[in-house]
Amino acid sequence: MIKGNFIDNLPKVYGIYTGGFLAFIIIMAIGEQMGMTSKTIGICFVAFTVAIYAIIGYLSRTAQADAYYVAGRQVPTVFNGMATAADWMSGASFVAMAGGIYFKGYGYMALLVGWTGGYVLVASLLAPYLRKFGCYTVPDFIGTRYGGNLTRFLAVVVLTVASFTYVTAQINATGTIASVALDIPFQYAVYVGLVSILLCSMLGGMRGVTWTQVAQYIVLIIAYLLPVFWISNKMGAGFFPHFMLADEVARIGELEQQFGFVKNSAGDLANVPKGLAGITKAHSAVNATPWAFISLALAMMMGTASLPHVMMRYFTTPSVKAARKSVGWSLFFIFLLYSSAPMLATLSKLSLIDPSLPTGIIGKSIAEVQAIDWYQNWNQANLMFVSDFNGNGTLELNEFFMGGKAVVLATPEIAGLPYVISGLVAAGGMAAAMSTADGLILAIANAISHDVYYKIIDPKAETAKRLVVARVLLVVIGFAGATIAAMEIQGILGSVIWAFDFAMSGLFFPLVLGVWWKRANREGAIAGMALGLISGAGYLIWVRNGGSGFLGITQLTFGIFGSAVSLVAMVVVSLITSEPSAATQRMVDEVRVPAGRSILGKQ
Amino acid sequence: MSKQAQHWEKTRGLLIMTLAIWFVFSIGIFLFGAEMNEMTGPFGYPLTYWFTCQGSLGIFVILIFWFANRQEKIDEEFGFSERGDD
């Protein structure tokens, strides 16, 4: 099925797949009517989708280096866009983003702008040129453009630091969802998640990951959009929420005025379970300084353009032209979900706080709220909490607390949708976290197997041996990630943002200047990567340990400092050392035109 | 000037234009976030709120496709486009 004219049949294959998935949802809905328990439905959703991914992973098995590293460079534009969107949208985007908007409003929405605007940089500065280069990995480009094993090695170091920070968060997310859906302890669920992730990538490498990511995108986008549209219609807010929620947004503003944001005392807050928050920020008003907003958006945009697991997706397209278009499609598919997250946050918030809606709980008596079924369920899951701080027996806005994940996970239930939707949302969250984890683990394993093992340690290794090394690394890195995820050190969103900052500190300018500045040389790149990463990490450690920071750069935007150091170091060191060889300059010239064979294809 | 140098000059011009538009909608407008939010934007949302939810995001999508088409034209003009792909 995967061989021969599989590529020509892609629309048909994924069309049948989508139809099959919709049929499965309907079967589950019928099952629910006939008395299937919610637990069984949850297990069916997760087990069924993971089984499909595993089958795709098995069918994509390969013994060729080209297929393993870059999916044979034959992934069509639109499908690569879908795969990139799944690669990109992690558990954080799926589960945590709407919650972040719900609680933090405008200040948080810098992430929406940052995580989309970065693709303009990817399309215009990097992707087409790296595709022309014909590399297997991002360090492959750095190593060949600047020359020498040290540049290659430093690029692998930056890649590993950034991607590993990111991947523990994703394995954590798969574990959270698996533990809820399958009802097993988190410590074991993490490894269930890991095994599912490895099933997709072990046998087929990039080829397996590509075709599972397309399948995962279809699941996650259906799982995100269906509830948003359904809730909006059920509430009578409008059949197409994106264009029709202005009244609801205004209504939230009115209610905020009416209730006011009462500040709770520290003593009262001490009773609230860890990780839950109340509504303390305005929904649609501008509540952050321009620099706070812009610096976060800028850090995320430059980080996007430096994250290797995204960049390597554009190595799989058939041509340079296709790589450019494919970036556009990626962002289109991402846009579908990102533009829906604020709508979900609006619907969720209004249905909870508006006393004139049947679902509203603010203004009801505490005892009444505590008797609601869904409140009891989510309170038990430690995601919701109410407490009568002022002792008047009525629930006030400042007395209601919720976890960020609950906005996506609990809203369908609050709005009175059937349980089958909650099962679907669990499958979607699982797909989002798995697809990103797969891309990241593969990026790390490929960089170490290709750049460190094959290019530096044993350049004569045969293909079969290289692929064995790549697969062993995949498993080792996966287990290391899962082990750290099981310790639950840092929240999902925090580590995701750090990953962007690490990547931009060490890689943004060495990548961009490699194409756009011919004078950039090896010494400059070494200084840029090493000093960028060290100063970025140093700033993070300093701020974490009580340092005051400067210029309003926080622990979420430390990459701005790191990349500035990287730029200065790279330019200064390049200019005081000799210019790159004539051969290198010719190579840069060739990278800049799409025509002709790829640089590495010639060697 | 060689054909290749001319091609690169045009490519760089397109890059600057693309990044200028990108800058306006990712950074520029948010310098005036508070003032702009007083205005009503498309579909009746407050203007800054609309840009963060949909506006800037949608503009980035269109911008990338526009950039890709323009770059293709430049490549064709100088005979640097690839043959027989996608």
Tens of pLDDT along A408-418?
A: 888 888 888 88
Q: How far is CA A11 from the centre of its chain?
A: 25
- What are the chain B neighbours of A110 within 8 Å (beta carbons)? 30, 52
**Cα–Cα distance measured from residue A555 to residue A500, given in angstroms and rounded to the nearest whole number:** 12
CB pair distance less than 8 Å for A327 and B64 = yes
Q: What average pLDDT does the segment A524-550 reach?
A: 90
Residue A595 in tokens: 């025509």
Q: What average pLDDT does the segment A169-175 reach?
A: 81
Q: What average pLDDT does the segment A110-134 reach?
A: 92
Does the CA dihedral A350-A351-A355-A361 come out positive or negative? negative
* C-alpha distance across the termini of chain B, in Å: 32
Q: Identify the residue with better confidence: B40 or A565.
A: A565
CB pair distance less than 8 Å for B48 and A328 = no
Of all helices (H) and strands (E), which one includes residue B18? helix B3-26
pLDDT at A287 > cutoff 60 = yes
Q: What average pLDDT does the segment A216-227 reach?
A: 93
Q: Is A342 left (phi over 0), alpha (psi -120 to 50) or beta?
A: alpha
- What are the chain B neighbours of A284 within 8 Å (beta carbons)? 37, 45-46, 49
Are the CB atoms for A295 and A560 separated by under 8 Å?
yes
- The residue among A289, A391, A314 whose CA lies nearest residue A129 is A314
Predicted pLDDT at A372: 87
Predicted pLDDT at A602: 56
- Residue A273 is classified by DSSP as P
pLDDT at B30 > cutoff 70 = yes
Q: Which one of A60-64, A69-73, A142-146 scores highest in mean pLDDT?
A: A142-146
**Cα–Cα distance measured from residue A71 to residue A83, given in angstroms and rounded to the nearest whole number:** 12
Strands A384-386 and A276-277: unpaired
Are the CB atoms for B68 and A330 separated by under 8 Å?
no
Of all helices (H) and strands (E), which one includes residue A277? strand A276-277
Residue A262 in tokens: 């009462």
Q: Which of A74-83, A316-325, A355-364, A512-521 has the lowest mean pLDDT?
A: A355-364
The pTM of the full predicted model, rounded to 2 decimals, is: 0.92
Predicted pLDDT at B65: 96
Share of chain A above pLDDT 70, in %: 98
Across B1-86, the runs of DSSP E, i.e. the strands, are: none
Buried-state track A356-385, b at ≥16 Cβ within 10 A, e below 16? eeebbbbebebeebeebebbeebbeeebbb
Question: What count of residues does chain A have?
Answer: 603
Q: Please, what are the domains in chain A? A: 4-252+283-347+418-602 (1.20.1730.10), 253-282+348-414 (no CATH)
- What are the chain B neighbours of A594 within 8 Å (beta carbons)? 75, 80-82
What are the CA-CA distances from residue A281 to residues A105, A263, A286 (Å)?
6, 11, 10
pLDDT at B69 > cutoff 90 = yes
The answer to ipTM > 0.90 is: yes
pLDDT at A422 > cutoff 80 = yes
What are the CA-CA distances from residue A457 to residues A195, A448, A450 (Å)?
29, 10, 10
Inform me whether the C-beta atom of residue B33 falls under 8 Å from chain A C-beta atoms: yes
Q: What average pLDDT does the segment A113-140 reach?
A: 92
Contacts of residue A273, defined as CB under 8 A and 6 or more positions apart, other chains included, come to A382, A385, A401
Contacts of residue A51, defined as CB under 8 A and 6 or more positions apart, other chains included, come to none
Inform me whether the C-beta atom of residue B55 falls under 8 Å from chain A C-beta atoms: no
Predicted pLDDT at A38: 82
Buried-state track A45-64, b at ≥16 Cβ within 10 A, e below 16? bbebbbebbbebbebbebee
Are the CB atoms for A411 and A383 separated by under 8 Å?
no
Q: What average pLDDT does the segment A514-540 reach?
A: 93
Contacts of residue A420, defined as CB under 8 A and 6 or more positions apart, other chains included, come to A25, A28, A29, A31, A32, A41
Q: How confident is the model at residue A486 (pLDDT cuts 50, 70, 90)?
A: confident
B interface test, pick of A80, A84, A106 with most B CB neighbours within 10 Å: A106
Residue A271 in tokens: 């009773």
Q: What average pLDDT does the segment A192-209 reach?
A: 84
Q: What average pLDDT does the segment A135-153 reach?
A: 89
Q: How confident is the model at residue B83 (pLDDT cuts 50, 70, 90)?
A: low
**Cα–Cα distance measured from residue A568 to residue A425, given in angstroms and rounded to the nearest whole number:** 46
Predicted pLDDT at A491: 64
CB pair distance less than 8 Å for A324 and B68 = yes
What are the CA-CA distances from residue A289 to residues A102, A107, A285, A293, B31 (Å)?
19, 8, 12, 6, 9
pLDDT at A489 > cutoff 90 = no
**Cα–Cα distance measured from residue A437 to residue A443, given in angstroms and rounded to the nearest whole number:** 10
- Measured between CB atoms, which of B30, B71, B85 is closest to A290? B30
* Main-chain dihedrals φ then ψ at residue A37, nearest 5 degrees: -75, 160
Residue A63 in tokens: 């013994």
**Cα–Cα distance measured from residue A94 to residue A174, given in angstroms and rounded to the nearest whole number:** 12
Predicted pLDDT at A1: 46
Write the burial class of residue A568 (CB in 10 Å: 0-12 exposed, 13-18 middle, 19+ buried). Answer: middle
Q: Which residue of B has its CA nearest to A516?
A: B12
Of all helices (H) and strands (E), which one includes residue A276? strand A276-277
Q: Identify the residue with better confidence: A602 or A238.
A: A238
- What are the chain A neighbours of B68 within 8 Å (beta carbons)? 123, 321, 324-325, 327-328
Q: What average pLDDT does the segment A568-580 reach?
A: 92
What would the DSSP string read from start to end of A6-68?
GTTTHHHHHHHHHHHHHHHHHHHHHHHHTT--HHHHHHHHHHHHHHHHHHHHHHT----HHHH
CB pair distance less than 8 Å for A246 and B45 = yes
What does the pLDDT look like over A66-110, one tens digit per residue?
A: 888 888 888 889 999 999 999 999 887 888 888 889 988 888 899
Predicted pLDDT at A490: 62
- Measured between CB atoms, which of A246, A319, A342 is closest to B82? A319
Residue A307 in tokens: 């994250």
User: Tokens 């940052």 — which residue?
Assistant: A114
- The half-sphere exposure of A181 on its side-chain side, counting CA atoms within 13 A, is 33
Amino acid at A455: K
- The half-sphere exposure of A207 on its side-chain side, counting CA atoms within 13 A, is 21
pLDDT at A248 > cutoff 90 = no
Buried-state track A424-462, b at ≥16 Cβ within 10 A, e below 16? bbbbbbbbbbbbbbbbbbbbbbbbbbbbbbbbeeeeebe
Are the CB atoms for A344 and A408 separated by under 8 Å?
yes
Predicted pLDDT at A488: 67
CB pair distance less than 8 Å for B71 and A116 = no
User: Tokens 């994703």 — which residue?
Assistant: A170
- The residue among A513, A569, A502, A510 whose CA lies nearest residue A536 is A502
| Summary mean pLDDT of chain A | 87
CB pair distance less than 8 Å for A117 and B72 = no
What does the pLDDT look like over A340-381, one tens digit per residue?
A: 999 999 998 888 888 888 888 888 888 888 888 888 888 887
Are the CB atoms for A106 and A287 separated by under 8 Å?
yes
- What are the chain A neighbours of B48 within 8 Å (beta carbons)? 106, 286
pLDDT at A260 > cutoff 50 = yes
